[in-house]
Structure 1
Amino acid sequence: MKKTALFAVASMATLLAAAQARAADAVADAEADRTKTVEELVVTGEITFRNRTDEAAPTLSYDLEYFQRFEPLTAGDAMKRVPSVAFLSDVLESDGARLRGLDPGYTQILINGERVPGAGVDRSFFVDRIPAELIERVEVVRSSSANRSGDAMAGALNIVLRDGYTFDGGYVRAGALMFSDDRVRETVGGVFSAPVGPGRMVIGANYQGRRNPKQKFSQRFDEPGGTLDNIEIQSDKRNGEDYSLNASYDVQMEDSTLKLSGYFVRTDRLEDEDSYEYRGGRVGDADFLTYNDNNVDIQTDNWALQAKYERNMAGGKTRFKLGYAELSDDQDEIEEEYEYLRDTRPFPDDDRFTGDLTRTRLKDKEVSGELSHKRDIGAAKLEFGVQASEKNRDTDISAVRNRVTIPNPPATRPALGAYGPLVAVVGGLNAIEERRIDPFVMVSGGDGPMVWEAGLRWENTDTTIEDATAPAASRKVDNDYSFLLPSAHLRWNLSADDRVKVSVARTVRRPNFDFLSPALLEAELGDNDLLGNPNLKPETAWGIDVGFERRLGSRGVAGVNVFYRDVKDLIEVASTGQVGSEGAGTFVLQPRNTGDGSVWGVEFDLSTSLSAFGLDDTGVFLNYSWLDSDVDDEFGSRRFNDQAKYVFNVGFIQDLPDWAAAFGATYRKQGKAFGRVVGEEVTTTYGADLEIFVEKRFGERYVVRLTGTNLLDSKKKETFNKFTTIADQRSRDFDEYELEREEAGPVFQLVARATF
């Protein structure tokens, strides 16, 4: 598959030679229309607002300049400023984007409009893997169209990378970040764009030191308001480096266009957690229960190649696309625990040591292609085609446990060889193949005040799951399903400033990979076992979005949107009625398509200058999303798991033209979230986040920015209700009640940019 994709990309490149003679004039015209000087994008004295798109589908577009003055490190740092995007990450982390507050598996992450494989079992892609320096813009696509994959129940977030026509010239960026533990990490990068042969090329590279020093504190009770059993004091340091490279080559010819693009991102990270547990909340040797040392060494590589060729032919425009994307995630985890007061001998006499070594190797490869054609049919346009993909996902998780009795705490960690041979864990050695063929047809039209689009997509999926750790009779399972996904969008301009958008679409969410594996995982959910279900059907949803948008002045915009999703075949974990491996009172649980659910909310956003008040150099930004949902599980009614009740952002930028300077601030707050599964219930709250920047420009080529993040010392607080059995959870007979608090201090960043 990989060789085929690389060969096809190289083959398309040969089209360049034949097109050179007629391309020169077209290239010159395209450059004049699209490219900007690098100073316009990097050393800017203007405030940039949210774009007002003209397409029928409800889409919010934010150029990098909208975020850049706050110097976001990653795509996730940028996305947390757009409407309805929540995160359930650790403090100072923005990894799994939760559009409209829903689980990341409900949000489709696209790069240049294409799906990308992710490491998450819910198919999600961590957006903090993409450095912000690669981005041209971020698009929030609230409702699906027939020419895009239907895996977007909550919507899609499209990360558009810079191409050869983004700007003309180059720049370098260098800076340093100082963290709350007084450690300093470096950041450096550069981008260059220029004509090359008959086309234009952009190439960029970025290196970024990453660090997140956090502190956690937990209190564990026998029940709410009950006796304090123990406390845990934990330090959690995450230190690493990100490396990225992207390139794009674009050719505009007389009757065709060619685009070759690719990117590579590597994340190297070491996560080091040290935990000290004490009896009764008293810190000292007499009450020292355990010491836990947990280290995870992570290397994650994401890379992709894509070729797109469009040509005027057969009375319209035909498009060919071919892409290859790969993710490899290697993790080595060592967790060692020294138990002191948990045995019959008091510290520091004979104590017990437990060491677990887990090795995880995940590789996800996907080849995709498209053949489509678009043409006029009277006053309307017809687009039809077929998209196909083949995914191969291989997981290899092996582990070994070393349990010994030791006379005193060791001064150094035992050698790796002491752990002995690794053995595949149950459910940890599997291969999943997924093949899709998705034909589609769309009709669009309208001009003047009304533009419309209607389409139909037929998604066909064949899946093969093979788990080497499952019983022989169920080791390999085949499953296939098809869905018809209609969609329709209408944009109606009520006036030059006011417009209404209405969208209806059917979408799907495919099951988590771990839910599909036929293996039986013992004591996976509390003391209950989890048995995978390869025959799960995807969830489906009918959704509607209705929005109103008003232009404010020459550049501002304000909008409000109401959405609703009616979800069918909801996947929930339920009891099979079989007794679990832990004996009476425990059960074997299995994910099933059990029922229905619904999601709804209201989204408001504002992006404008204050010119109406005589403040031409002041820009304000505000968005607020009120989010809600309903689903019935084994214990009653609740919201969708971990959906934030609201997301709120507000900020301003003040330019000082006479001083060639600017400053600004943003304030963000995310509402409470609640999640419930068998054996555990979690309530999560976040403190507010305040960011500021101060900028000074030097001539037309240089700018220096100082930014501060997490200036309110935001805290993440979690409340855990833990139960041993389903019956205990219904009767509220607690196994444990835990309060956990996590915090990390402010981060300051000083960055200089120079254009050339």
Structure 2
Amino acid sequence: MSPPHPPAWPAPMFALLLALSGAVPAVQAQDAAPAPAPAADPAAAATRIEITGSRASDTEQRRQSTAAKIVIGREEIEKFGDSSIGEVLRRLPGVTTPGAPGRGGPPRLRGLGGGYTQLLIDGQRVPPGFSLESLTPEQVERIEVLRAPTAETGARAIAGTINIVTREGFRRRLNDLRLGVGVEGGAASPGLHWTRNDSAGPLTYNLSSAAFVRRQRSDSRTETVETALADGSVLQAEQETTHTADRRAGLNATGRLQWRLSDSGDTLLLAPSLFHSRGRSDRRFTLQQDVPATPPAYDVADSQGRSRFTHLRLNTQWRQRLGPATRLEVNGNGGAWRARGDSVRQEFRDDGTLLRTLQDTSRTREHTLALNAKLSQTLGGSDTGPATATDSAHSLVSGLETEAVRRREQRSGDLQADDATGNLQASSLRLAAYVQDEWSLTPHWALHAGLRWEGITTEGTAADGSRPRNRSSVATPLLHVLWKPDPKGRDQVRLSLTRSYRSPALGTLIGNTTINSKFDPGGPNEATSPDRAGNPALQPELATGVDLAFERYLAGGGLLSANVFHRRIQGLMRSVTTLETVDYSPVQRWVARQQNIGDATTQGLELEAKFPLDTLLAGAPRVELRANLGLFRSRVDGVPGPDNRLDQQARATGNLGADHRFRGLPLTVGGNLNWVPATETQLSDSQRTRSGGKRVFDAFALWTVDPGMALRLMASNLDARHYESSNRFTTATSTQTASTTAPTDTNWQLRLELRL
């Protein structure tokens, strides 16, 4: 079946972005300056000045970076009043999130699935089990999106890198308190956020904390149909409905304490953080068979789940100037997290007869210790600061990194295989060395060249006594080129030639075998509901890539950008479902494992535009316009087409947004439309999946009562629609298709913002 045609509106937006490259250059510089706010509204004038300064800073950072980088500052982060940082990321260029609209998930660049995007918090990799939904926008200073890897940030970024920088200390005093409540599907979710910036002598500090309760209700319906290949007759047809009520409460706290040790710039930084959450999930299942092939496993089932997650981290940083042009930076990072999960599932007949009870208990702990050293030198040009286009200087950076991770899992219950029940211990050691040179060659040319080597050794002790071990190493050369046809102009071209990789997650290498809860462990299961197991023989994927971008920076802080990319991937990892003989069942079971299946190619086009409307149309209202569009294609060698694309990669994504501050009124309104089309993927000769399309419309209104008080109303997923997905598996004799439909709801949020 061919994928449905995308909605009609993205095509005009695509044409608009192309047309703007010729339409906007005629704008005169004097049109870029906004008209001053009326004198009678001093609060409005103060707000206008602060926003303009912030925007110029973000755009200028992007413009001056030799490697392609998008910087999102405080203005964009807090604009909509989102309750989590995941909602902010969804509107950024090229970013998609899995699952139904409004449900979020780990952000993904360029439509690619999990593991292709490197996620960092303050330059450190996000630990397994940590959800970005736990991080509130109030705790974030800026977001950096790097479309191509650099030696310093790491090469485990085939799709790119998202670095979330938490709030930094400033000389300007800040004491903000924000109280809010969200409502979705009749369930209320309150939240409280507090941020404090201040200084005391040589100490500059920032403290930020958040407490929240999030409640969500959802329903879904899955229809599973099995048909015979010989005559198309229906062998089995069943419907399973699920009602879920989730509740999660959390407390987050981050700090940043920086001491100025000398007038030459020597500093000591301590950045502790704590994230803690508890969750509860209650589900109700109903199973109905229209064409029974076997007696139904159950008629009604209940499931109760409890979870707890705690993450504690301490980052330390010491910067010492060794000479006029030499600086040493040493970072020590220690972290620990633990997760706990307990679930009970009971299945009944319609008459109340208890058929079976399934229990599952898991305990996971992980400790991480990292030590990094970086030496920065300026060779030639100015010795007093960063190299500029006129310095013809080298900014040379070299570094060493080491990271040790130790993990322990305890899992037991009815959903564990006999040979995997008990303890699992695993550890990994990562060593890395890199060198990079950022060279302002001429006023027209700048180069950013780097080489990074990284080796990872993973070993473990499984419950069955085996000691799986995996070792891999990757050398990644990287080159970024920036060309300015006119150093005083507003146009520039970027070229990146890179090598990057994706390493297997620890759980995919060494992990307990988990039995699908839908089927009794002693009997057969279905290909669309397989058991899952690890594969210690996995090797990392390697990708060779090229990025080419054109950027035009407009007067008034706007920009136009067009970017094309290509990646050739070797050793592609993919979950493969096969029928296996297992120790925990007398019959063969379908089991899914990650495997290296061959090579693949992905490429795409990314367009972005951001500018005030009055710079395009004289006399128009001061409306800030934002638009971006990404088109993605991929092909997996050895898998028959059509649609033999990378797993979970969206075909496209787009955003169209605008906001406006009314003159003479302390009111700002805005909205954004996010679009992701439906995508079908041929995973193998026998398996095909489909992800439904998404259109998510967000809107907000901000009423500034006075400089110290504001009221914000925000609505997400206003045009709430059903989300559909399917999974089809073909065997030698039949085809089985599982199709899921889930309605979604609008999320309303009201928040009071106070500056104390």
**Bin for the TM-score computed over the shorter chain:** 0.7 to 0.9
Map of 1:168-247 to 2, 5 A cutoff? 168-181=173-186, 183-223=187-227, 229-247=237-255
Distance in structure 1 (CA, Å) of the matches to 2:45 and 2:210:
19
- Which amino acid counterpart does residue 360 of structure 1 have in structure 2? S
Aligned to 1:370: 372
- 678, 688, 691: which is aligned to 1:684? 691
- Pair 1:87 & 2:80 matched: no
Deviations 1:23-47 (Å, cap 9, x if unpaired)?
xxxxxxxxxxxxxx99978997769
Structure 1 pair 246–42 and aligned structure 2 pair: CA distance change class (3 A): farther
Closer/same/farther in 2, CA of residues 588 and 710 from structure 1, 3 Å limit:
closer
CA distance in 1, matches of 2:666, 2:320: 46
Change in Cα spacing, 1:519 to 1:695, as seen in structure 2 (3 Å) is closer
> CA-to-partner distance for each residue in 1:725-746, whole Å, 9 max, x for gaps?
5x45xxxx22x32321112221
User: Residues of 1 paired with 2:579 and 2:214: CA distance?
Assistant: 47
Question: For 1:704, what is the secondary structure of its paired residue?
Answer: strand
The answer to whether residue 339 in structure 2 is matched with residue 329 in structure 1 is yes
Counterpart of 1:719 (choices 699, 703, 726) is 726
Q: Is 1:665 aligned to 2:671, yes or no? A: yes
Which TM-score applies when normalising by structure 1?
A: 0.82
The structure richer in strand per residue is: 1
Aligned match of 2:479: 488
Q: Residue 451 of structure 2 corresponds to which residue in structure 1? A: 456
Which whole-Å deviations, capped at 9, do the CAs of 1:381-401 have from their partners, x for residues lacking one? 222120111111222221137
Whether the 8 Å contact between 1:117 and 1:326 is mirrored in structure 2 is no
- Once the two structures are overlaid, the 10-residue window that deviates more, 677-686 or 63-72, is 677-686
1:134 equivalent in structure 2? 139
SS of equivalent to 1:77: helix
Distance 1:586 1:677, change over 3 A: farther
Alignment-derived partner of residue 383 in structure 2: none
Cα distance 1:295–1:40, how it changes in 2: closer, same or farther (>3 A)? farther
SS of aligned partner of 2:59? coil
- In the alignment, the residues of structure 2 paired with residue 552 and residue 83 of structure 1 have an alpha-carbon distance, to the nearest angstrom, of 18
Q: Which amino acid aligns with 2:211?
A: Y
Q: Which amino acid aligns with 1:396?
A: Q
Secondary structure of 1:329's match?
A: strand
Moved more, 438-447 or 631-640: 631-640
Equivalence for 1:399:
413
Moved more, 424-433 or 594-603: 424-433
- Correspondence for 2:32: none
Instruction: State the Cα deviation string for residues 487-524 of structure 1 (Å, max 9, x = none).
Output: 11112222321111111111111113333228767778
Give per-residue Cα distances to partners, 1:273-306, cap 9 Å, x unaligned. Answer: 2122234399xxx999611212221212223211
Q: Which amino acid aligns with 2:249?
A: E
**Displacement of 1:226 after TM fit?**
6.6
Bigger mean CA deviation after superposition, 714-723 or 500-509? 714-723
* 3-state SS in 2 of match to 1:51: helix
8 Å CA contact 2:628, 2:655 repeated in 1: yes
1:328-727 correspondence to structure 2 within 5 Å: 328-340=338-350, 347=351, 351-378=353-380, 379-400=393-414, 426=420, 429-446=423-440, 448-469=443-464, 472=465, 475-495=466-486, 496-517=489-510, 526=527, 532-572=534-574, 591-612=594-615, 613=617, 614-615=619-620, 617-632=622-637, 638-675=644-681, 676=683, 680-723=687-730, 725=731, 727=732
Q: 1:427 to 1:512 in 2, by over 3 A?
A: farther
Q: What secondary structure is seen at the aligned counterpart in 2 of 1:711? A: coil
Q: Does structure 2 retain, via aligned residues, the 8 Å contact 1:382–1:441?
A: yes
Task: Rate the CA distance shift 1:223–1:424 in 2: closer, same or farther, 3 A.
Answer: closer
Query: Does residue 80 of structure 2 align to residue 70 of structure 1?
Result: yes
Cα distance, 1:525 vs structure 2: 7.7
Aligned residues: 672
Displacement, 1:243?
A: 1.2
For 1:66, what is the secondary structure of its paired residue?
A: helix
> Using the alignment, how far apart are the partners of 1:47 and 1:668 within structure 2?
27
8 Å CA contact 2:580–2:588 kept in 1: the answer is no
1:143 aligned partner, one-letter code: A
* Match 2:306 to one of 297, 309, 312: 297
Q: What is the CA distance between 1:97 and its match in structure 2? A: 1.5
Matched position secondary structure for 2:429: strand
- 1:46 and 1:385 map into 2 onto residues whose CA distance is 37
* Cα distance between partner residues in 1 of 2:717 and 2:592: 41
Q: Is the CA contact 1:60–1:140 (under 8 Å) kept in the aligned structure 2? A: yes
CA contact (8 A) 1:517 1:533 kept: yes
Distance 2:48 2:281 in 1: 34
1:177-221 alpha-carbon deviations (Å, 9 max, x no partner): 12222x322111111111123121111111122122112123333
Query: For the structure 1 residues 709 and 629, does the alpha-carbon distance in structure 2 shift closer, same or farther, using more than 3 Å as the test?
Result: same
Residue aligned with 2:637, SS: strand
Contact 1:38–1:168 at 8 Å: present in 2 too? no
What residue number does 1:15 align with? none
In structure 2, list runs of 5 or more residues that go unmatched.
1-42, 381-392, 516-523
Which range is displaced more, 489-498 or 103-112? Answer: 489-498
Instruction: After superposing the two structures, state which structure 1 stretch, 606-615 or 575-584, moved more.
Output: 575-584
What SS does the corresponding residue of 2:664 show, helix, strand or coil?
helix
- CA distance in structure 1 between the partners assigned to 2:328 and 2:297 by the alignment: 70
Amino acid in the other structure paired with 1:233: T
User: Percent identity between the aligned chains?
Assistant: 20
Paired with 2:630 and 2:548, the residues of 1 have a C-alpha distance of 14
Of residues 83, 88, 110, the one that matches 1:100 is: 110
| 1:269 matched residue in structure 2 | 279
1:231: how far off?
2.4
Q: 1:271 to 1:51 in 2, by over 3 A?
A: farther
Q: CA RMSD in A?
A: 3.2
Is this contact kept in 2: 1:549–1:558, CA < 8 A? yes
Question: Per the alignment, do residues 48 and 335 of structure 1 end up closer, same or farther by CA in structure 2, a change over 3 Å counting?
Answer: farther
